[in-house]
Chains A and B, each alone.
Chain A
Amino acid sequence: MARIQAEHLSVTFRAPVREAGLRAALGSLVRRRYRAVEAVRDVSFELQPGELVGFIGPNGAGKSTMLKVLAGVLHPTAGSASVLGFTPWQRDQRFLRQIALVRGSRPLAVPPELTVLDALRFQQLIYAVPEQQFRRNLAELVELLSLDPLLERQARGLSLGEKMRAGLAWSLIYRPAVLFLDEPTIGLDVGVVTVIRRFIADYCRQTGATVLLTSHAMADVEQLCRRVILIDHGRLVFDGKLAVLSERLAPHKLVSLTLAGVPAANLASFGEVVEHDGALVRLSVPRGDVAALTARLLAALPITDLTVAEPALEQVIGTAYGGRARESLPSKE
């Protein structure tokens, strides 16, 4: 049985609009205008237990809205969903005890004067975590997230990275079975991002939790997720393996050459020259032609080094966000 199931979910809300200026502002007191915003349109997908899936899309695509619907915070306008066998927006306490929604914009939603340990103890009470289990979970989280120096510090004095680490511990102290991670690495430095990614991967492996992760940092998705769901303008555009998405959106690979001397042949005859900087040349080559082309290059040019690489995921996804994806992708793989 799928752990998370969304069927034809739609979320439409009314946003007040008015023109600029005092006259329009006064007029809006009498007659208010609204615009219907379709944040999520007819989205369906399933996650099996233990899956860690990337949920990606441009700004305003509906990712965070979707996570909030599945976490039970928002009611959809249409469609149905099931998480752990519960309808999320009915907010059954048995459901709420098994899920966590971690928001990068607000990772530690506690009053600022509480210490980190205060906050964790409060979670213990709210989620009825037995003392022995609490101590065990705390010990693991302290080690995985290097929390020891933070436990006695007040939330108000923590840096963003420290808040994120404390926030992850705060959200996971009760071992939820389903995690909704909304931009967990936003605004964090490289060191902390590495810690967070490693922690998420370790947590999923150890507990078998099911995770739906949104992130604009494609490295997060690349390192953590085999499967991605791409959403754009509220619609599901792609659901499948990340490698397949890359192949479909970027049918080329990058061949990088380091030349020993001036090439006799015209480089453009081998493929699209993406970069030519002195001895360094980068060609964009159709995937199916890479092997044959490599042999031709080695035979025709004075090459000291040759590498074949996938185009940067950021670039690939950027193409998708640019609108090509809707035309070029089947929605499910």
Chain B
Amino acid sequence: MSRSLHILRAYITHYLLAWLASRSFAFTLVANQAVTPLIGLAVWSTALPGANLSSYYLALLVTRLVTVSYEQHTFSGRIYSGELIDDLLRPHPAMLATLGQNLALRAWHVLIGLPAIVAVLLLSQASFALPDVLLAVPALVGAAALQFLFTYTLALSAFWTERAHGVVGIGGTLVFLLGGEAVPAPLLPDAIRPLGVALPFRAMHGFPAEIAAGLLAPDAMLVGYGWQLLWLAVFAIGAALVWRGGVRRFMAVGG
């Protein structure tokens, strides 16, 4: 286990340096990630001026940057090009390189996005209570893990289809619609709110933001953590099974 952590740390360091060379592109990625929460903040502040969702959307901005995942680009492409061979030849779990790149990208997103976070904090009416922020930290870690597992599992569709980008895109759309970005879960219609709470999408984005913004009662928080843990187990097992099935189909034939 410690050897895997050593190797993971080496991959993170390596990809941090690699993305230094592509920092201008990283800026555009961060801008792309920041747009949706900022639009949500503007829209809901206008639609429900008394609701004060500034804290929620600022926390959502942070959550987006911390949970960002691009495995349809960083990993599916390696399946299509045959470069996955390099990962399969190494004496460690093939996922480590992908995870290392994911964590390095997230670090860059937070670093580059920090000025925007500070600006929104100063310019909006967002305010946070320290206990709420501390209670949200485990949820944020869980959301980061869940988003990676979710995107990685969808990216594994590259073993079966040439449309992995589309598959992951559909997943991204579901996260946007049901994950608390288009509509915060507490504002969902009564008929579908229980579904929105139970599905994995809120656990990836909206759940940590709701805790940090003080929008959840303790019992609702516990239920949310329960769902997050359940989905983590589902996608961890799912990713392992899909990987096992997919790697058997991998056909980088030819020289």
Contact = CB atoms under 8 A, between A and B. Distances in A.
Interface of A: 11, 13, 37, 39, 60, 63-65, 68, 71-75, 89, 91, 93-94, 96-97, 99-101, 103-105, 109, 111, 113-114, 122, 125-128, 182-183
A109 B255 contact: no
A182 to B, nearest CB: 6
Contact of A113 (B3, B17, B249, B253): B17
A104 B252 CA distance: 15
B91 interface: yes
Smallest CB-CB A-B distances: 3 pairs: A96-B91, A93-B91, A109-B86
Contact of B250 (A63, A74, A111): A74
A73 B88 contact: yes
A73 B253 contact: no
A127 B250 contact: no
A93 B91 CA distance: 5
B31 interface: no
Contacts of B14: 111, 114, 122
Binding site secondary structure of chain A: mixed
Interface in B218-255: 247-255
Contacts of B91: 93-94, 96-97, 126-127
Interface string B10-38: 10001001100100000000000000000
A105 B255 contact: yes
A332 to B, nearest CB: 26
Given A13-B253, A72-B89, 8 more contacts: A64-B253, A68-B85, A73-B88, A74-B250, A91-B88, A96-B91, A114-B14, A126-B92
A11 B252 CA distance: 12
Nearest to B17: A113
Given A93-B91, A113-B18, A183 B255 contact: yes
A122 B89 CA distance: 14
B254 A64 contact: yes
Contacts of A13: 251, 253
A73 B255 contact: no
B6 to A, nearest CB: 7
Contacts of A104: 255
Interface centre among A68, A91, A111, A182 (most CB of B within 10 A): A68
A75 B248 CA distance: 6
A179 to B, nearest CB: 12
B92 A73 contact: no
Nearest to A122: B10
Contacts of A125: 6-7, 10
B3 A109 contact: no
Contacts of B10: 122, 125-126
Interface of B: 3, 6-7, 10, 14, 17-18, 21, 83, 85-86, 88-92, 247-255
B75 to A, nearest CB: 15
A64 B82 CA distance: 13
B89 A93 contact: no
A68 B255 CA distance: 10
Nearest to B21: A113
Contacts of A68: 85, 252-253
A37 B253 CA distance: 11
Given A75-B248, A125-B7, A126-B7, A96 B90 contact: yes
B90 A126 contact: yes
Contacts of B252: 68, 73-74
14 contacts: A13-B253, A68-B252, A68-B253, A73-B89, A74-B252, A91-B88, A94-B91, A100-B89, A103-B255, A109-B83, A113-B21, A122-B10, A125-B10, A127-B91
A93 B248 contact: no
A93 B251 contact: no
Nearest to A99: B89
B88 A111 contact: no
A71 B255 contact: no
A128 B254 contact: no
Nearest to A11: B253
Interface centre among A74, A75, A109, A127 (most CB of B within 10 A): A74
Nearest to A171: B89
A111 B18 contact: yes
Given A122-B10, A122-B14, A72 B88 contact: yes
Given A109-B83, A126-B7, A101 B89 contact: yes
A212 B216 CA distance: 63
A134 B90 CA distance: 17
Contacts of B88: 72-73, 91
B243 to A, nearest CB: 11
A74 B6 CA distance: 27
B176 to A, nearest CB: 27
Nearest to A127: B91
Given A109-B83, A126-B7, A65 B89 contact: no
A71 B89 contact: yes
Contacts of B255: 63-64, 103-105, 182-183
